Structure 1
Amino acid sequence: MIGLDPGLRNTGWGIIQIAGNRLQHLANGTVRSRPSDPLAQRLQQLYAGLDAIIADWTPDSAAAETTFVNKNPDATLKLGQARGVVLLAPANHGLAVAEYAPNQVKKTVVGVGHADKGQIHAMVSHLLPGCIIDSADAADALAVAICHAHWADRQWPTAPTAKRQPTRDRRSRTGGAGS
């Protein structure tokens, strides 16, 4: 399976496989676009890079991290366009693409939804021993792949959000309010 971390400048990718009850690292890297090039060329660079990786490695499934809305609308729009390319490349190879929110990826891999890049890198290295991680973007992509490996067998197109369990009414334990 391939995990993807979308970005216009750097798109991380990571390929893992499930071997029994263990995860095995196969490859990871970063597809880069040239910031000086026009947007259409940059998107084409991302697509060509991802297309070649998917053709070479032939993963059986794909997962991508969803994006967040930035304060800068122009940056958000460009990231959305890059994300479209990231979703298109595996789809053109016949792969369904699962999508996971950044906090879901972090919670699945690290155990907390607001983990920093260093914590993600450390846990990915721990879960995939011997893996040499190409970049922070590749570490994020491997984390997406690990998250997908965890949730994919549950056959959900996206990871579920945690549902809060109803709390018991404290009055029922004491026989009434103020007792």
Structure 2
Amino acid sequence: MNDATQATRIALVEDAHAGELLTLRRAAFVTEAQQYGDPHIPALTQTLTELRQDLAREDVVTIGAWEGARLVGSIRIELEDNKATLGRLAVAPDMQGRGIGTSLLFAIIPHLPEQVTEVWAFTGKDSKESLSMYAKHGFEEHHDDAAGALTYTYLRRVLHEVDARNTP
């Protein structure tokens, strides 16, 4: 089956896929690190042990996108009271621009507890493509926060009762 006809499968990432997830994130975030001139961004410095600890957390959900046996995308959701925070949205560099990131964004909805009323995301302030994708799906820029030489833009989407379980 070739890439054009292969369906993308979305599922939870389990510990057995931790090494593949680490590789995917490093491949996906190296471009951002180059853009910012900072090879020490957290997605690139996380160890396999730290990643496995993160996958085991009860307040964190990690969802992956597979094409065949290959992990081609992932998203991490941290849950806290009425808030869900998205992070580490990663798509393999050769698979970007195919809607995988958007599919992952929509895939979080079934994993949000009923009490979640707002979804937060953050990305580098100069990550125009990421900012555009979030804006397209109803996220509004809320504030910027400097972390060393890198400035993150935080975006928020307030969920309403009608759409809380239908769209991110």
Q: Same fold (TM over 0.5)?
A: no
Structure number having the greater helix percentage: 1
Which one scores higher on RCO, CA 8 angstroms, separation ≥ 6? Answer: 1
Structure number having the greater strand percentage: 2
- TM-score scaled by structure 1? 0.27
- TM-score scaled by structure 2? 0.29
